[in-house]
Chains A and B, each alone.
Chain A
Amino acid sequence: SAVISQKPSRDICQRGTSLTIQCQVDSQVTMMFWYRQQPGQSLTLIATANQGSEATYESGFVIDKFPISRPNLTFSTLTVSNMSPEDSSIYLCSVWEYPSNYGYTFGSGTRLTVV
C-alpha cells in the first residue's frame, strides 16, 4: 500500500494566522482526502482533493477557510486559514489507489494547536 508523509507532524500557531499542511505519497494514487479529528472525537471528512480542479467540500467546510491544492497524483496541501482556537485538531490525509479493493491509507496526521 501507499506510504504517506505528512508535514508538519505538529504545530502551535497564533490565532489569525494560516498553516499549510503537506501530504506526499510515494506512488500515484487515484483519490486523496482530508479529514479533521477534533479532540476526543471521531474523524470528519473535510474534502476530496481533485487533481487539477477545485476540491469537493463536505457540508460545513468551505474553500475560503480550508483551501486545498492537488497539483499531481502524489501531492496535496490543506491550508487552515485565519485560525481560531476552535481549529485545534488533528488533520489527516488519506488516499486510495485504484484498483485496490482494500482499505484506504492514512497519514500520521498533523496535530494543530491554536493559541
Chain B
Amino acid sequence: DAKTTQPPSMDCAEGRAANLPCNHSTISGNEYVYWYRQIHSQGPQYIIHGLKNNETNEMASLIITEDRKSSTLILPHATLRDTAVYYCIVRVSPKTNAGNMLTFGGGTRLMVKP
C-alpha cells in the first residue's frame, strides 16, 4: 500500500473549515484514499473514501487532485467535538484484497479551539 504523509498537528477555530492535507505521491491506479479519525479514548471511525472523484457525505468532503498524488479532507464547520487524530490511508478496495489490513501512519492531530 502507498505511503502517506500528513502534518503532525493543526489548529482550527470553531465554526471554520478545517482542511487536512495528505500526500500520497506513490499511489497506484487501483488504490483508494480513506480517511479515519480517532477521538480520544475511542476506536477509529471511518469518515470518507474516494478513488479519483471528489466525494462528500454528511461528515466531510474529500478533494483529490487530478494526478491523485495528494488529497484534502474538509470539515466544513469544525466543532469542538471534531478534535481528534485524523488518519489518511491509501490502499486497494477491501473487495480486491481484504487480506491487507489498514496501515496507520502518524496522522494529524486536529485541535479545534473556541
Contacts and interface: CB of A to CB of B under 8 A. Distances in A.
A42 interface: yes
A103 B50 CA distance: 11
Interface residues of B, number: 23
A84 to B, nearest CB: 23
A75 interface: no
B7 interface: no
A104 B95 contact: no
Interface residues of A, number: 27
Contact of A42 (B41, B49, B101, B106): B106
Chain B, interface SS category: loop
Contact of A99 (B95, B106, B107): B95
Nearest to A43: B104
Given A45-B101, A96-B98, A101 B43 contact: no
Interface string A47-84: 01000000010000000000000000000000000000
Q: Of B42, B45, B46, B98, which is in contact with the most chain A CB atoms at under 10 Å from its CB?
A: B98
B94 A106 contact: no
B102 interface: yes
A92 interface: yes
Interface string B33-46: 01010000111111
Interface in B100-114: 101-107
Given A42-B106, A48-B101, A103-B36, A98 B43 contact: no
Contact of B95 (A1, A43, A56, A98): A98
